Structure formats: C-alpha cells, structure tokens
Amino acid sequence: MSNLFADELTTLQKIKAEGKFKTCTAGGFPPFSIHGKDGWVGFDVDMIKSYANFLKVKYEIVDYHFDGIIPALNTKKCDMIVSGMTITDERKKTVLFSNSYFKDGISVLMKKNNSTILNNFSFDKLNSENIKIGVRLGYTSDFYVGKNYKKAKILKFNETADLVNALKNNQIDVIFTDTNNAINISSKFGDSFIYKNTEVQDEYFGVAFRVKDKDLMENFNQFLSSWTKTKEYTEIYEKHLVK
C-alpha cells in the first residue's frame, strides 16, 4: 500500500487493511483495566479482544496516564480509547463517543475507623480546609471535587493503588472515585473501608474515537449491539462486574 493511498483511507479502512488496531488504556482501574505481571486483564480488555475478533484483526494496548489519554488519541498514538471513560459534554468537544456500555456514578470512600468524618456524616462536612481529599487525575471525580469541594485540600494521583495507599496511611481523609471502583476497593479491604454514594449516579462509560472517525465509531456500535446479546458478553460481565 503506497503512503498516498493510505492517506486517503479512513481509520477503519486502515485497520482492516493492516489487520491491527491500537487502543489507549489507563491501567490500575479494576475491574475494567489492570496491567500486572501476567499482562492486561479486565472487562475493557475482554471487550477489546471481542471487538478485535469481530473485525478479524489483531489489537495492541497502549498504556497512558488518564489525564494524557485524549491527547494521545488525537495525536494518533492509538485508534480509540477503551478505559472506563465517562461520556461528558466537555469531552465531546474533542472526541466522538460510542454508545454507552456501563452505568456508573461518583462515591466517597473512607476508613471505617474515621469517627471524625463518620459521626454525623454529611458531604458538606467534607468541604473544609481541615479535610484532605484524594482523587485520580483527569477522572470525572477529579472535576467533581474541584467544583464542589473548593475549601478542602485536594491531592491528585495517577494511580488508584497510590490513592488507596494514601488513604490507608492517613495521608488523605477520603477518596472520591467511581462508584463501582469504591465498591471493589471496599470489598477487597472489607474490614478497613466504607463508601457512600454522592448524588451523581448516572454517569455512562463509552469508547472514545477521533472526531473524524465516525465510521469506526458506528462500526463499534454495531459490534456492541450484537455483543451484548451473546453468551460471551454475559460471562464476561459476570466475571468482572457481578459481586
């Protein structure tokens, strides 16, 4: 394929011609994407594999910090973002989203023995200069806290594991994070943490594409519509998301 001809192809056509696509993903976000010694695992990872099978091509996962993942997509470091990304109006200004594949929300996670916060708990109590709030950089919970808890001291982390360690070591008082993530963390450390839901419980995850790649987005939506009706999808959903 000549470079001249390749430049005329859409991203979807290039993927089919080259037999491979790249997806940008931020690891450390169980149960959606986790990168460990055995490679990538999680719901998003299994969805990527299934989409590659749908296209009959190979795939490659490229790891990025979440706050840099949209710039990576738009500078063609990858062909799509599959990373538990919440569909927002702000993000729609720079990327194109697929149909939603998961509903989530925002919750606050804290230690069970933090009587100062838990006694007569209220979210208003957290908006104080005496409170240290941890968030993951670039997540919707980061923007939510920045908007609603201006009096608190906000500490930003690149990895969920660093957030949890900061909470365990009393470097922060609470974590604001995705509700499903809060459920997973509190389940993993059942004797240590407790979570409470904020009023925001209607966030939706989507796969992000470059704005010009409407054909690729529509192709993914076709896959998603059929995949969610299969036994494979049910098994993957129950494996990662049913507690």
Q: What is the pLDDT of residues 40-49, one digit of tens each?
A: 999 999 999 9
Residue 99, pLDDT score? 98
String of b and e for 141-180 (b: at least 16 CB within 10 Å)?
bbebbeebbeebebbbbbbbeebbebbeeeebbbbbbbbb
pLDDT at 163: 95
Lowest mean pLDDT, pick from 22-26, 29-33, 85-89: 29-33
Comparing 2-6, 168-172, 175-179, 208-212, the range with the smallest average pLDDT is: 2-6
**Encoding tokens for residue 150?**
């201006």
Q: What is the pLDDT of residue 178?
A: 94
- What pLDDT, on a 0 to 100 scale, did the predictor assign at position 36? 80
List, for residues 58-109, the tens digit of each pLDDT value: 999 999 999 999 999 999 999 999 999 999 999 999 999 999 999 999 999 9
Question: Percentage of the chain with pLDDT > 70?
Answer: 97
Q: Is 184 or 24 the better-scoring residue by pLDDT?
A: 24
What is the structure's pLDDT at 189? 86
Q: Radius of gyration over alpha carbons of the chain, in Å?
A: 19
What beta strand segments (E) does 50-152 contain?
58-63, 80-86, 96-97, 102-104, 106-111, 132-136
Confidence of residue 4 (pLDDT cuts 50, 70, 90): very low
> So what's the pLDDT on residue 7?
66
Per-residue pLDDT of 160-199, as tens digits, reads 999 999 999 999 999 999 999 999 899 888 789 999 999 9
What is the pLDDT, as a whole number, of residue 8? 83
Element (DSSP H or E) covering residue 14: helix 11-18
Q: What is the pLDDT of residues 112-124, one digit of tens each?
A: 999 999 999 999 9
128-143 per-position pLDDT tens digit:
999 999 999 999 999 9
